[in-house]
Structure 1
Amino acid sequence: MNRLMRILGVLVVIFIAAPLVIVVPMSFSDARSLQFPPPGYWLGYYYAFFNDWGWLRPTWNSIIIAAATMVLTMILVVPATFALVRYRFYGKSVADLMMMMPLAVPHIVMAVGYYSFLGDLRLVHTHFGVILAHTCLAVPIAFLVLSANLKGFDRTLERAAQSLGASPVRTFMHVTLPILRPGIMISALFAFIQSFDETVVAIFISGRNAETLPRKMFDSIRQEADPVIAVISTLLFAVVILALVAPAGWKSIRKRLRSKTPPAAILGSQ
């Protein structure tokens, strides 16, 4: 049974990694279109990406919009999660349903609704309009992650802090927030990724000035199959790998530095 599970695990990894085996070599290809295997190799398309504002502007737009969406999402989700998880009030089930609604409705339907609503407010083709639309899509994902962490929170720690004279604000800042910090960070990360990767709503809402990277990639693959798309995919993959490896590398460096520090110096610093 264990051997079968290992084989299945290897097959799943191969299935997930197979597109990368194709995309990464194509990013170094000298072909005029997406072609595998590449007829030759060069760095011309990397140069084209970093020197073409037609690609750099959507990249910066996606980063700015995703960061703003992440901040706005957490401002809304943190108090809403505490209210829905810890308190009982009239209409709580309806509020829970509304929080999850964007996950149940197809994005194309949401996009049409956002286009009509934001159009009346004259927010279509603006950064703020895309941020509002992406926030609505990111809220349920962030809520699910944070609520799972909050449901497993031991409230006796808060009661102990308050019994020792800590105010509710100090209890939240020094007890609740440090314990929930990993869950909050993961929720924020999911909100950022949801906004950065979203395409359907961006096609309807974003205009030329607020064009996002996924929309630019979609238009490019539909019109001309620009090989720069392979460059962007490779760079995004490298960023993900770096984000996964960086924490482990930082811990390893700190461990080595501590092992080289004399015990007397550690005691003196304490």
Structure 2
Amino acid sequence: MSFSASRSFEFPPRSFSLGHYAAYFQSDAWLSATANSLAIAAGCSVLTLLLSVPAAFALNRRQFRGQNLARALLLLPMLVPSIIMAISYYTLYAEIGLNQTYAGVLMAHAAGSIPLALIALSATVRGFDRNLERAAAICGATPWQGFRMVTLPLITPAIVIAGIFAFVHSFDEAVISLFIAGREVNTLPRRAFESIRLDADPVLSVVSTLTVVLVIFLFSAVSLLRRRAAMSR
């Protein structure tokens, strides 16, 4: 339908055109929403990794009181329905002034992405051969040097995969964005929802096509990274 020449949704198309693609790339509303989603998703990936990488090491290499509780709390956002999370964020943000702000949307998306990243990272950290770190220490490396030169290169594929998961989750998040994102922080899923609800703009088919292509590309990258990581072992 994205290549249809019709001015409304029509399938199968009776004629073909790139008019909907031209309309998308000429629309400030669609391009602004796309830029917002890409920026928030990229920021969400960074913030998620900054929190989930240390958490993965702490939960899988250390024993401490409350460890199971900490793990359950970090995984909890994956178990709670999105609508419940959205209402909770809206209520909390209304009190502290974070509704309709980039920071508010970024933190909410990161909270939902941390469980996905933590699961991807935990499997790698748990299966990491610590004899490699011991060998580095025997050769005179400090703990930081051992981490930087031995551990980090070997877990980099898992970190990249976790970052991609966080990016896709943020880019695709619609329910929470509908509650806490405003006109200035209009994300692509929110803009798409408004389009289908108000005017049924056929440009939406272009957005859907480009989003599917992006997700296929990212998960193909994940598959390639997993294959390379398996081969390196």
Normalised by the length of structure 1, the TM-score is 0.79
After TM superposition, the structure 1 = structure 2 runs for residues 89-168 of structure 1, keeping only pairs within 5 Å, are 89-168=64-143
Match of 1:36 in 2: 11
Question: Counterpart amino acid of 1:188?
Answer: G
1:218 and 1:91 map into 2 onto residues whose CA distance is: 41
Match of 1:17 in 2: none
1:78 and 1:130 map into 2 onto residues whose CA distance is: 21
How far did 1:196 drift? 0.3
2:127 and 2:193 map into 1 onto residues whose CA distance is: 41
Select the residue among 175, 178, 199 that pairs with 1:200: 175
Structure 1 alignment gaps of length 5 or more? 1-25, 249-270
Question: Counterpart amino acid of 1:189?
Answer: I
2:199 and 2:154 map into 1 onto residues whose CA distance is: 50
Residues 232-270 of structure 1: CA distance to partner in whole angstroms, max 9, x if unpaired?
12222333455577899xxxxxxxxxxxxxxxxxxxxxx
Select the residue among 205, 222, 226 that pairs with 2:201: 226
Question: Counterpart amino acid of 2:52?
Answer: V
Bigger Rg over Cα: 1
Aligned CA RMSD, in angstroms, stands at 1.8
Normalised by the length of structure 2, the TM-score is 0.92
* Distance 1:243-1:85 versus aligned 2 partners, 3 A rule: closer
* Structure 2 contact 133–146 (Cα < 8 Å) conserved: yes
Percent identity reads 48
1:243 and 1:188 map into 2 onto residues whose CA distance is: 10
Residues 28-74 of structure 1: CA distance to partner in whole angstroms, max 9, x if unpaired?
11222211011221111111100111100000000000000110010
Structure 2 alignment gaps of length 5 or more? 224-233
Match of 2:213 in 1: 238
2:194 and 2:91 map into 1 onto residues whose CA distance is: 22
* Distance 1:138-1:228 versus aligned 2 partners, 3 A rule: same
Residues 188-239 of structure 1: CA distance to partner in whole angstroms, max 9, x if unpaired?
0000000000000000010000010011111111222211111112222333
